[in-house]
């Protein structure tokens, strides 16, 4: 029923594809207008008002690697780099 459409982003002027699946999703949600911006411009616009996340330096308790974490490390709790944290989650 739906076919892919090529649209022009009003922000950057680049062409982007409004897929049949996206059109079906829009129709299911009751949206009547087609998107005006490409995904990159939509994401940039959405994130423009978000403050930059403060990152803190830490040392991984598992492997000893230096890493950055989005919270202030405390001495009473171990901190893990993303690789070690992912391994721990897989094991649990």
Neighbouring CB atoms inside 10 A of 92's CB total 5
Q: Which domain holds residue 16?
A: 5-47
| 66 lies in the same domain as 41 | no
Over residues 66-83, mean pLDDT: 93
Please write the tens of the pLDDT for every residue from 16-39: 999 999 999 999 999 999 999 999
| 41 lies in the same domain as 63 | no
Please write the tens of the pLDDT for every residue from 34-63: 999 999 999 999 988 888 889 999 999 999
Question: What size, in residues, is the chain?
Answer: 92
The pair of three-digit structure tokens given for residue 78, joined into one six-digit string: 């171990």
Check: CB of residue 35 under 8 Å from CB of residue 46.
no
Check: CB of residue 14 under 8 Å from CB of residue 5.
no
Check: CB of residue 78 under 8 Å from CB of residue 59.
no
| 39 lies in the same domain as 70 | no
| 43 lies in the same domain as 61 | no
Number of domains in the chain: 2
| 83 lies in the same domain as 65 | yes
């Amino acid at each position: 029923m739906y076919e892919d459409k090529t649209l022009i982003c009003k922000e950057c002027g680049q062409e982007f594809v409004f897929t049949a699946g996206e059109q079906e999703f829009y129709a299911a949600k009751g949206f009547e207008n087609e998107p005006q911006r490409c995904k990159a411009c939509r994401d940039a616009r959405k994130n423009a008002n978000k403050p930059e996340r403060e990152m803190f330096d830490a040392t991984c308790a598992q492997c000893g690697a230096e890493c950055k974490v989005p919270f202030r490390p405390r001495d009473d709790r171990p901190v893990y780099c993303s690789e070690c944290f992912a391994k721990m989650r897989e094991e649990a």
